[in-house]
Amino acid sequence: MYKKLSKIQAALKVPKNQYNKFGEYYYRNAEDILEALKPLLIEHELTLTLTDEIALIGDRYYVKATAILTDGTNKIETSAFAREPETPKAKTDMSQQTGGCSTYARKYALNGLFCIDDTKDADTTNKGENDSEKTFNELANSNSASENAATPDKCPKCKRKITDGAFQKWGMCVNCKQKEKVA
């Protein structure tokens, strides 16, 4: 069973092809993972099921998603948790928020079971413009007469748009800073 899982983990490729316009980042969702997994599951004669349950932890309710991989005799499972926001999101009803938590928890249960790593995807799926190839120093020193000119609108490392003062804090975007912490 573990040999089959290992082969699936090595073969599974799920690029971040979804794009969030608001946050300006690429991501993968649970459906992308499942679509990539189905042929591998058939090839290795394994079945994957996903279940949810509600768990009370402290004073908050969480959706606990469990991904179960089985060959009919043996099983391997991984769980992940997600909770609804304390204040409801605008333009969504409670069932949509619970469904979003379920999807999020399932995605991370699948990530854990199949060793889907997010650390390399940001660089390989970045679709920044070619005119953003300037170095950090070129961006920081251009038009130095203006205070805003020292702050580039794109990260010097990954070429993504920089938001919420990340450049002033770290000299890079939040994604690059998080990857730096992991490394």
Regarding pTM above 0.75, the answer is no
Nearest alpha carbon to residue 80 among 60, 118, 50: 50
Using the 3D structure, point to which of 92, 113, 134 is the last residue of a domain.
Answer: 113
Using the 3D structure, point to which of 90, 113, 136 is the last residue of a domain.
Answer: 113
Q: Pick the residue with more confidence: 19 or 127?
A: 19
Which range among 39-48, 93-102, 114-123, 134-143 shows the weakest confidence by mean pLDDT? 134-143
Specify the residue for token string 């058939």.
Answer: 42
Using the 3D structure, point to which of 113, 143, 174 is the last residue of a domain.
Answer: 113
Tell me, yes or no, whether 120 lies in a domain: no
Q: Are 76 and 100 members of one domain?
A: yes
Partners of 56 in the β-ladder: 61
**In the predicted structure, residue 13 carries a pLDDT above the cut 50:** yes
Q: Are 22 and 53 members of one domain?
A: yes
Q: Over range 29-45, report the average pLDDT.
A: 96
Q: Which residues of 24-178 form beta strands (DSSP E)?
A: 25-27, 47-57, 60-70, 75-83
* 8 A C-beta contact, residue 26 and residue 125: yes
Q: Over range 86-102, report the average pLDDT.
A: 84
Tell me, yes or no, whether 153 lies in a domain: yes
d(CA 108, CA 125): 20
Residue 141's pLDDT band (boundaries 50, 70, 90)? very low
Partners of 75 in the β-ladder: 70
Q: Over range 134-143, report the average pLDDT.
A: 35
Boundaries of domain holding 82? 2-113
